[in-house]
Amino acid sequence: MLPVIALVGRPNVGKSTLFNRLTRSRDAIVADFAGLTRDRQYGQGRVGPRPYLVIDTGGFEPIRTEGIVKAMANQAELAIEECDAVIFVCDARAGLTPQDSRIADFLRRCGRKVILCVNKAEGLSDIAKAEFYELGLGEPLLISAAHGQGVRDAVEAALADFPEEEGDEEEVLDENAPRAIKVTVAGRPNAGKSTLINALLGEERLIAYDMPGTTRDAIKVDFEYGGRPYELVDTAGLRRKGKVFEAVEKFSVVKTLQAIQDANVVILVIDAKNGVAESDAHIAGYVLETGRALVVAVNKWDLLDSYERERAALDLEQKLHFLRWARMIRISALKRNGLNHLMRAVDEAHAAAYAKIPTPKLTRALLEAVQRQQPPRARGGRPKPRYAHQGGSNPPVIVVHGNALEDIGESYRRYLEAFFREKFNLAGTPLRIEFRTKD
Ligand code: GDP
Ligand code: GDP
């Protein structure tokens, strides 16, 4: 499961600067995810190939006072509860403050691994960290969030106890072995996730269920649908009660993001009656970011009259325009309508995500695409795509080789993407296209 790092410290020490550096362009992809808070930001970072989640917490002041300061403390406490390791940020320029000591007292008791970082340390010598030993949190690390110094070491220290993700197990499986498609069902509270899951499980045999030992363990359920095996991976925000799943009271962003990361195919459930919310788009954006296959279940279709159906279709098209490649299946989880269609789309998305396309076929398709429409001429002459090979799966990566390809713009890239999708039936999965120029 994706490890989670929380950034904690008093205001102005450089937490947001550090957050932006860790998540780079992936800034705050899921800020205000559930409409719960504006004080916590979530993003994804990477050290080497290894992804992790970062939570930025506004300021932190563990004193019980009323109003905004207290609210911020609560946000920080919630973030600490959700995380595996804390990066505690102090300010080398301001030196050690009484507030730092109070936060340290809190952190020593929180039961999480704490990495103490002294920020704004560019150009400072080791003497700058001397006073911070007093916090009793071990060796302080001098960092500069603004300049990137020491940041990687801090993250590696925070993640040191977490096992590296095993490689992509799909690759080592026997091609012919029946394998369960790992599915997660995500969506806002009340979208109908538990109703959908209970409908899927209820119709067919529930094969196995592992009771989670601790709250960190994922719920896993094997089931069959239409004779095919699936594994429901920790479906965010749900727990099993007796024979059925139900939503837990507290929606956890972290659990949602972890479940998406662990799945092969994400079913994003949207409440058609309420329309597409910003948080639906945030979840979808995160799925895109992780490269997972996706099917959108447009739920509660039974509640809509014909006018509302038209409006809902428009709404989906507008707000989820960046998901044109994903199938949108209208369902009623309650009345069990559309479930077959939905699961077929899941199969199709999975097949697309793991499609293997031989180089000659790809190259032929590339040349056909270029013949129909040449890349626009650029400074360095006209880009010349020559051949293509597949550079990875889940999501599929198509690597295009040729000359002057660095001049190919976004619109031509999109044209090629659409062409490959159509040609190789790649609905339901993100598709990445990379250009490699031979010099
Ligand atoms: P936050 O309130 O903890 O999120 O702090 P911010 O990230 O907003 O940073 C507060 C101020 O410190 C801003 O003016 C930043 O530009 C500055 N700052 C952040 N990191 C560094 C750093 O590494 N070196 C220096 N000199 N300034 C920094
Ligand atoms: P969750 O929080 O996403 O797990 O949502 P639930 O599955 O608990 O559903 C929330 C509410 O919506 C419940 O009252 C469900 O009965 C209702 N609901 C779910 N799916 C449908 C549907 O397809 N049609 C209708 N009319 N109601 C639904």
Choice from 184, 188, 193, 195 to test ligand 2 binding pocket (greatest atom count within 8 A of CB)? 195
**Between 28 and 125, residue with greater pLDDT:** 125
Cα–Cα distance list, 84 to 169, 216, 334, 385 (Å): 25, 10, 37, 46
Find out whether 265 and 233 touch, Cβ atoms under 8 Å: no
Find out whether 410 and 416 touch, Cβ atoms under 8 Å: no
**Which atom of ligand 1 is closest in space to residue 19's alpha carbon?**
7
Using the mean position of ligand 1's atoms as its centre, give its distance from the Cα of residue 121 in Å: 11
pLDDT of 62 strictly over 60: no
Ligand closest in space to the Cα of 196: 2
Using the mean position of ligand 2's atoms as its centre, give its distance from the Cα of residue 232 in Å: 19
Find out whether 235 and 266 touch, Cβ atoms under 8 Å: no
Confidence grade of residue 407 (pLDDT, cut at 50, 70, 90): confident
The pocket around ligand 2, CB under 6 angstroms, is made up of 187, 189-195, 247, 299-300, 302-303, 332-334
pLDDT of 261 strictly over 90: no
Per residue in 228-248, pLDDT (tens digit) is 899 888 666 666 666 666 666
Q: Mean pLDDT for the chain?
A: 83
Using the mean position of ligand 2's atoms as its centre, give its distance from the Cα of residue 334 in Å: 7
386 is in an annotated binding site: no
Using the mean position of ligand 2's atoms as its centre, give its distance from the Cα of residue 248 in Å: 14
Per residue in 137-168, pLDDT (tens digit) is 999 999 999 999 999 999 999 999 887 755 44
Cα separation, 381 vs 396, whole angstroms? 29
Per residue in 157-197, pLDDT (tens digit) is 999 988 775 544 444 444 544 579 999 998 888 899 888 98
pLDDT at residue number 367: 94
The pocket around ligand 1, CB under 6 angstroms, is made up of 9, 11-17, 119-120, 122, 144-147
Provide the whole-model pTM.
0.72
Ligand closest in space to the Cα of 8: 1
238 is in an annotated binding site: yes
Amino acid, res. 111: G
Ligand closest in space to the Cα of 198: 2
pLDDT, average across residues 254-265: 85
3-class DSSP state of 98: helix
pLDDT of 204 strictly over 80: no
Which ipTM score applies to this complex?
0.74
